[in-house]
């Protein structure tokens, strides 16, 4: 996994919006995606290319159409590598606080 490309792709709000749109309805054409964005097809294509380079979006040709699909694997890898380890300690503290407030000694 190239996490630098994933982080770069996620740094832009338009690219995050594209991922949200694909999460809501996977397998959209560029035209369908552009209906929900305030930008030209050329600009949207550049964003999609960056998402493809980060392996966050994959495409499939169906006739003359090019369908775009969300690939959640790189996001999961970022979560496993960068998020999970930081939240584990905090969740443990919250669990201990809850048990202490509830008077549960087990």
Structure confidence at residue 104 (pLDDT): 63
Task: Flag residues of the chain having pLDDT under 70.
Answer: 1, 104-106
Question: Residue 70's domain spans which residues?
Answer: 3-102
Tell me, yes or no, if the pTM score tops 0.85. Answer: no
Neighbours of 63 (CB within 10 A): 5
Dist CA 82 CA 78 (whole Å): 6
Structure confidence at residue 89 (pLDDT): 73
For the domain that residue 33 is a member of, what is the CATH number? Answer: 1.10.10.10
Structure confidence at residue 1 (pLDDT): 58
Structure confidence at residue 106 (pLDDT): 54
Longest distance between any two alpha carbons in the chain, whole Å:
64
Structure confidence at residue 97 (pLDDT): 84
Total of domains in the chain = 1
Show the tokens assigned to 31: 């035209």
């Amino acid at each position: 996994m190239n996490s630098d490309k994933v982080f770069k792709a996620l740094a832009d709000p338009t690219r995050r919006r594209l991922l949200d749109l694909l999460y809501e309805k996977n397998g959209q054409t560029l035209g369908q995606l552009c209906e929900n964005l305030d930008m030209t097809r050329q600009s949207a294509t550049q964003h999609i290319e960056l998402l493809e380079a980060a392996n966050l979006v994959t495409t499939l040709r169906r006739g003359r159409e090019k369908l775009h699909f969300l690939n959640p694997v790189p996001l999961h890898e970022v979560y496993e590598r960068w998020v999970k380890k930081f939240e584990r300690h905090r969740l443990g503290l919250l669990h201990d606080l809850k048990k202490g407030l509830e008077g549960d000694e087990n």
